[in-house]
Structure 1
Amino acid sequence: MIERGRSSYEGFAATIKLVGTGARGSRDLSFGEAREAMAVLLAGETSEAQAGAFLIAMRLKGEAAAELAGFAQALREASM
């Protein structure tokens, strides 16, 4: 999970590593991890390269239901 106390780079790099290590090494994010990752993206706390790497890794891995729900929750929270 991305920790708010750490720099965005360190926390988001760890999230990219979870989903971007290939078919055998990657794992689905939990609802909370997905919500936090989307919140960080929406807040602009990542570089363009990090955002692109995360989105491509998610596309290659395929999105799980809990991830989509977490992303949607972050979008709802950001719209308020």
Structure 2
Amino acid sequence: MSTDTDDAYTRQPPAIVAGTDVTAAADRADTAAAADAETEADRIESRAGHLLPEEEAAGSDDPIRQAAALLDESDRRTEPPG
């Protein structure tokens, strides 16, 4: 029988590996998400300013919302299945 008390249940947890910064990784993800949202907003605004004549003829109280719906539908049609 071993009297060694330094087993897996009593040891100190390993130190965090140098250079591991979970906060920085999360900040980068937040920054990337914000950039993606800004890019999408610019894309929608651009599309709203360039509605096709038949889209304008259909009329809309909210061209931004109309453009967002058009782009969403287009994106869904062009995504690969799966």
- Scaled by the length of structure 2, what TM-score is found? 0.25
Q: Which has the higher contact order (CA 8 A, sep 6+)?
A: 1
